[in-house]
Amino acid sequence: MNAHDSERIKGMLEDIGLGEASAPDDADVLVFNTCTIREKPDTRLAAHLGNAKALKERDPERVVAVGGCYAEAQRDRIFSQYPFVDVAFGPGSIPHLAEWLGAGGHGVSRSAFGIAEERRFAATLPTHRERSFQAWVQVSMGCNSKCAYCIVPSVRGREVSRRPGEIVAEVTRLASEGVKEITLLGQNVNSWGRDLRPDLDTEFGELLRACDAVDGIERIRFTSPHPKDFRDPVIAAIAECAAVCEHVHLPLQSGSTRILKAMRRTYSRERYVALAAKLRASIPDLAVGTDIIVGFPGETETDFAETLEVVEEVGYDSAYTFVYSPRAGTEAAEMPDQVPDEVKHERIERLVELVQRVAAERNLSRVGAVEEVLVEGTSRTDAAKLRGRTRRNTTVNFVGAAAPGELVHVEIHAASSTTLSGRQAALVAA
Ligand code: 5AD
Ligand code: SF4
């Protein structure tokens, strides 16, 4: 969501005549789009702002703007901590950034925290897309869950869904511009629609079907769903819609029912595992990814062992793993029994090792298969090869001849825990 907001910020700045500078040194206006989900991005921002301060000392006319979730969490404190910042704004206020910066960065209201009357979708703004054939489509903003570790609800507010007609119109326009792959975005993407027509139960499965019906869209992804909102119509839509990819991100967070309860995730280990099994049984060839937090307050060795068990049981194709990071103002930050850093780090090492072993086994089972790959560019590790992604969302490095944006078939010859490699099928035949 943060990356998508950055595209909107860029598009908007271009609209008021501010193009992208090749380096921070050359920029008249520096805009930082922050994240605050864990402590690490906060630390990185502090380093970036140190550089911005030095640049501004050299040229006091330079404008420094700080947006995003960290700005929203800090509000006016940004200015006492970083007095050289001119404008700060939260993620719901992106549509107003142009007013605050003024044409070409002139007429800036200095040391002001931009507070818009109401949060608005950035979705209606111009976008600067990195790739012409892939696009994010924001379907909702905010989150109504109360996960005890998470700062998102307090910085992005309560959930508001975009109207289905508006979303489908955007997808149709994107398809006419040559977009082949869309990723529907929401903090809790599959609870989309509850606030729109509760009487008619507008639900995410219907939205998937409506997007699938748009000509030219070859691949549909969505992130991030919550296990509690994976009802049967959503599963049926994924299984039946040709464009919806065989990949589901299913955030586990913890494998211990006791910890899940303390996290307020509203499902148990058993319900989660049953859901994963149902998804795999209903959607042939499904890849399952996840998010896992280690070291949530009160997590014992037994709780952690349950997380490891679930990783083996579900057999994730990929997983993002995080050390629990206390966020000021969240329920978990105040809980007793915070887990010592050494324990957290020792546990995450064990978790990462298992996740890699399981994912490597899953990827190895693809060797010999022919996968449909959407070409994204040149391989990051070998300039002679191409890189793309399968419908199951695995990166493939391959020998081939195709342009970014093309769909090609690749015969898979080898696998690691995160990537596949192979050769384009037409070339194999040749
Ligand atoms: N500490 C560690 N990880 C967190 N996440 C969210 N909040 C925290 C936190 N305080 C993780 C969750 C979520 C992902 C986007 O980030 O796993 O799914
Ligand atoms: Fe945070 Fe939970 Fe909402 Fe996800 S569902 S954004 S983890 S509160």
Residue 128, pLDDT score = 80
Q: Which atom of ligand 2 is nearest to the CA of 151?
A: 1
Q: How many Å lie between the centroid of ligand 1 and the Cα of residue 229?
A: 18
Q: Which ligand has the nearest atom to the CA of 253?
A: 1
Q: CB of 307 closer than 6 A to ligand 1?
A: no
Closest CA to 86 of 53, 54, 125, 50: 53
Which residue's CA is minimally distant from atom 5 of ligand 2? Answer: 145
Residue 118, pLDDT score = 65
Residue 171, pLDDT score = 97
Handedness of CA 289, 274, 271, 307 (dihedral sign): negative
Q: CB of 34 closer than 6 A to ligand 1?
A: no
Element (H, E) at 316: none
Q: How many Å lie between the centroid of ligand 1 and the Cα of residue 188?
A: 13
Pocket test for ligand 2, best of 152, 189, 229 (most atoms within 8 A of CB): 152
Per-residue pLDDT of the chain (430 residues; tens, 9 = 90+): 999 999 999 998 888 889 999 998 999 999 999 999 999 888 899 999 999 999 999 999 899 999 999 999 998 899 999 999 999 999 888 888 888 887 656 666 666 677 665 667 666 677 788 899 999 999 999 999 999 999 999 999 999 999 999 999 999 999 999 999 999 999 999 999 988 876 555 899 999 999 999 999 999 999 999 999 999 999 999 999 999 999 999 999 999 999 999 999 999 999 999 999 999 999 999 999 999 999 999 999 999 999 999 999 999 999 999 999 999 999 999 999 999 999 999 999 999 999 999 999 999 999 999 999 999 999 999 999 999 999 999 999 999 999 999 999 999 999 999 999 999 997 655 5
Distances (CA, A) of 318 to 245, 356, 395, 417: 15, 8, 11, 8
Q: CB of 153 closer than 6 A to ligand 2?
A: yes
Q: Which atom of ligand 1 is nearest to the CA of 291?
A: 17
Q: Measured over all CA atoms, what is the biggest interatomic distance in the chain, rounded to whole angstroms? A: 66
Q: How many Å lie between the centroid of ligand 1 and the Cα of residue 35?
A: 12
Name the β-bridge partners of 253.
292
Q: CB of 325 closer than 6 A to ligand 1?
A: yes
E strands along 263-323, which residues?
287-294, 318-323
- d(C-alpha 126, C-alpha 133), whole Å: 16
Residue 106, pLDDT score = 64
The DSSP code sequence of 368-379 is: T-EEEEEEEEE-
Stated pTM of the model: 0.94
Name the β-bridge partners of 292.
253, 321
Pocket test for ligand 1, best of 143, 223, 322, 341 (most atoms within 8 A of CB): 322
Residue 222, pLDDT score = 98
Which residue's CA is minimally distant from atom 9 of ligand 1? Answer: 325
Residue 323, pLDDT score = 98
Residue 300, pLDDT score = 98
Q: CB of 291 closer than 6 A to ligand 1?
A: yes
Q: Which residues contact 202 (CB under 8 A, 6 or more apart)?
A: 161, 164, 192, 193, 194, 196
Q: 56 with 64: CB under 8 angstroms? A: yes
Q: Which atom of ligand 2 is nearest to the CA of 156?
A: 6
Q: 140 with 126: CB under 8 angstroms? A: no
Q: CB of 226 closer than 6 A to ligand 1?
A: no
Residue 108, pLDDT score = 67
Name the β-bridge partners of 270.
none
Residue 105, pLDDT score = 61
Closest CA to 272 of 259, 285, 187: 259
